[in-house]
Amino acid sequence: MAAPFSRLCRPLWRITTTSTLNKGVRNVSSSRQQWSAQNVKTAGAASPWALNGAVCLQRLPVVSEDGSPIEEEFMELMHLMEFERSLLSDHELRLLEDAARMSRKQEGDYDSDEEDYRDNEIVTAQDLEDIWEQKPKQFQPAPRSQGVDEKDMSSSERCLADSLILLVKKDVGSQKLWLLPQIQWQTGETLRQTAERALASLPGADKKATFLGNAPCGYYKYKYPKVIQKEGSVGAKVFFFKAVLSSHKHLPLEKNSFAWVKKEELQDFLKPEYLKQVRRFIMAL
Amino acid sequence: MAGIVCRTASRIISSQVSCSSSVVAVRHSHWFTSMLSLKTSSPLRAEPKKKKKVDPRREIMMKERLKKKLKRLEKVAPELIPIEDFITPAKCLDETRIRDAPKHSFEESERRALLLKEWSRYKYSQHQTEMDTINEALEAQRQALDELKLESEELYKAAVSPDTDIFPFQHEGPSYTPPVTNYEAPEGKYNDITRVYTQ
């Protein structure tokens, strides 16, 4: 839930700021600075904003990512320090004993009767080590990169070490835009249900997702261009809900309408104002 | 002869009894005691086992003593289960196991010290970015909820209400290699040698 900020001065600030900046671009973001007084007035009455619910579907990383150089170096140092401060294990003691016994055997006055015979004679510690090294080679793990082309955006097996977001290309007005999957809100359902419907309405393999809570994680507000603006509809508000992909069938999706995208690649797909709002709640840690 | 005498005697007694209330024990033979008194014939009287009043008391006393002993045993605090991690096994105190302390050159020790400092700086910056990201996300959520409140109270209340289905939440974290598709793990035997303590 939202952190408990004390925002006593906030309402005053909202009312006194200037009206919204209408850029040439159709989508207008409403960050704190550009909030207009108009919105405060229309609260309570039949709001002119159409409500949409959108889903931010994340495929969490499947494979651990490679450490940065300093992390690698530090890990090595830690291993070394631990090794130096440790005690000798049973296996190492055995190795030492075997080595000592070998050296004694090489000497001229070796009397084998003095040795107390144990099973160590048959299988030396070194042999055991060799056996242990051979055993894991029987198992072939899957390769880390999975061999899928990194540029193929429609495959969800892309970058296994990063978390990916699902984007959809949609007709909005006259343009085709890349968006997070969204759908119009209908009366009688909560916004989370709208988001679930948005996810279910996507064509393709059914994606089992767990929605993280009832509250939206972010929002985006935009005004319709003046041509379409009628009385009672100024624009639309989109509320984003986070979901985590739990399991899916690896069916390929259409290349041109779906994309699994990392956080860094989002800027190639989304409009700048939209991106600005969306980046806030997508955490790529 | 004796039988006739007995029958006449009994008739006399019965006639006498019918007139008078008091019973007169008239014994004509030791076998036939009076009809109205207790039938305590000699076989009965000769029984050795007789439950006296002292015996049940003795038994009750025994039971009470046993119960008291049991209570005393139970009052003792149960033995604490030892935490195996806190007990240093005797193997570790063995002197033959100590490794020779390696001697590092000056450069090596310098390198280590510098690396540790570099690491602390790196971790600090990592922590800062993490905290910033989290605060940014929280702020975005808070603003979204404010917006929603402006829109409609019902939706806001529905959004703010707790979600009961999300917990318990399970997700498999990242591993070093991705899972192999259609992998059948080989069956293996194992002997579980964990020590189980009962109090």
Average pLDDT estimate for B158-181: 88
Confidence check on the interface: ipTM exceeds 0.95, yes or no: no
Using an 8 Å CB-CB cutoff, list chain A residues near B175. Answer: 62-64
For the four alpha carbons of A219, A271, A32 and A22, in that order, the dihedral sign comes to negative
Q: Name the residue with tokens 């119960």.
A: B67
Confidence of residue B5 (pLDDT cuts 50, 70, 90): low
Q: What is the pLDDT along chain A (285 residues), one digit of tens a residue?
A: 444 444 443 444 444 333 333 333 444 444 443 333 343 333 334 677 888 899 999 988 888 888 899 999 999 999 999 999 888 888 888 888 888 888 888 887 766 666 666 545 678 888 899 999 999 898 888 888 776 666 777 777 888 888 889 888 888 877 888 889 988 998 888 888 899 888 888 877 677 889 998 999 999 998 888 777 776 678 889 999 999 988 766 666 677 788 888 888 888 888 899 999 999 999 877
Q: For residue A207, tell me if it sits in a domain.
A: yes
Report whether A285 contacts A181 (CB < 8 A).
no
| Closest to A280 in 3D by CA, of A38, A25, A72, A29 | A29
* Number of domains present in the structure of chain A: 1
How far is the C-alpha of A250 from the C-alpha of A124, rounded, in Å?
49
Task: Residue A261: give the domain boundaries.
Answer: 49-64+149-281
Residue A32 corresponds to which amino acid? R
pLDDT on residue A134: 93
| Closest to A157 in 3D by CA, of B7, B119, B186, B181 | B181
Helix (H, G, I), strand (E, B) or coil at A245: strand
Q: Nearest by CB to B171, which of A3, A190, A244?
A: A244
Average pLDDT estimate for B9-36: 55
pLDDT on residue B188: 86
pLDDT on residue A177: 87
Average pLDDT estimate for B176-188: 85
Q: Nearest by CB to B171, which of A60, A81, A219?
A: A60
| Closest to A236 in 3D by CA, of A223, A218, A219 | A223
pLDDT on residue A31: 41
Q: How many inter-chain contacts (A to B, CB under 8 Å) are there? A: 153
How far is the C-alpha of A105 from the C-alpha of A48, rounded, in Å?
96
Report whether A191 contacts A241 (CB < 8 A).
yes
Helix (H, G, I), strand (E, B) or coil at B93: helix
Using an 8 Å CB-CB cutoff, list chain B residues near A236. Answer: none
How far is the C-alpha of B114 from the C-alpha of A229, rounded, in Å?
63
Using an 8 Å CB-CB cutoff, list chain A residues near B139. Answer: 2-3, 5, 280
The pLDDT of residue B14 is above 80: no
Q: For residue A120, tell me if it sits in a domain.
A: no
pLDDT on residue A11: 43
Alpha carbon A132 to its chain's center: 37
Q: Is A259 exposed, middle or buried (0-12, 13-18, 19+ CB in 10 A)?
A: buried
Other beta carbons less than 10 A from residue B168's beta carbon: 5
Inter-chain CB proximity B176 and A43 less than 8 Å: no
The pLDDT of residue B75 is above 60: yes
Helix (H, G, I), strand (E, B) or coil at A211: strand
Q: For residue A223, tell me if it sits in a domain.
A: yes
pLDDT on residue B93: 85
Q: A39 to chain B: nearest residue by CA? A: B150
Chain B touched by A175 (CB under 8 Å):
no
The pLDDT of residue B106 is above 90: yes
Q: For residue A14, tell me if it sits in a domain.
A: no
Inter-chain CB proximity A285 and B160 less than 8 Å: no
Task: Please give, one letter per residue, the 3-state secondary structure of A142-156.
Answer: CCCCCCCCCCCCCCC
The pLDDT of residue B58 is above 70: yes
pLDDT on residue B16: 53
Going by C-beta distance under 8 Å and a sequence separation of 6 or more, which residues neighbour residue A84? B99, B101, B102
The pLDDT of residue B61 is above 80: yes
For the four alpha carbons of A127, A130, A136 and A137, in that order, the dihedral sign comes to negative
Q: For residue A15, tell me if it sits in a domain.
A: no
Q: For residue A124, tell me if it sits in a domain.
A: no
Phi-psi region at A101: left, alpha or beta (left = phi > 0; alpha = psi -120 to 50): alpha
For the four alpha carbons of B88, B92, B98 and B103, in that order, the dihedral sign comes to negative
Q: A213 to chain B: nearest residue by CA? A: B163
Q: For residue A136, tell me if it sits in a domain.
A: no
Chain B touched by A215 (CB under 8 Å):
yes
How far is the C-alpha of B66 from the C-alpha of B95, rounded, in Å?
53
The CA distance from B83 to the nearest CA of chain A, in Å, is 22
Going by C-beta distance under 8 Å and a sequence separation of 6 or more, which residues neighbour residue A143? B177
pLDDT on residue A5: 42
Other beta carbons less than 10 A from residue B41's beta carbon: 11
pLDDT on residue B17: 47
Q: Which has more pLDDT, B50 or A159?
A: A159
Q: Which of B123, B143, B146, B172 should we substitute to test contact with A (largest number of A Cβ atoms within 10 Å)?
A: B143
Beta bridge partners of A261: A165
Do you know the residue count of chain A? 285
Residue B40 corresponds to which amino acid? T
Using an 8 Å CB-CB cutoff, list chain B residues near A215. Answer: 141, 144-145, 159-160
Inter-chain CB proximity B163 and A213 less than 8 Å: yes
Report whether B31 contacts B6 (CB < 8 A).
no
How far is the C-alpha of B23 from the C-alpha of B34, rounded, in Å?
9
Q: For residue A141, tell me if it sits in a domain.
A: no
pLDDT on residue B62: 93
Inter-chain CB proximity A191 and B97 less than 8 Å: no
Residue A77 corresponds to which amino acid? L
Q: Which of B154, B169, B175, B181 should we substitute to test contact with A (largest number of A Cβ atoms within 10 Å)?
A: B175
Helix (H, G, I), strand (E, B) or coil at B12: helix
Alpha carbon A187 to its chain's center: 32
CA distances from A86 to A79, A224, B97, B105 (A): 11, 69, 9, 20
Confidence of residue B10 (pLDDT cuts 50, 70, 90): low
pLDDT in tens, B156-168: 999 999 988 888 8
Phi-psi region at B25: left, alpha or beta (left = phi > 0; alpha = psi -120 to 50): beta
Q: Is B159 exposed, middle or buried (0-12, 13-18, 19+ CB in 10 A)?
A: buried
Query: Does B178 sit behind a cis peptide bond, omega within 30 degrees of 0 on the bond before it?
Result: no
CATH number at residue A232: 3.90.79.10
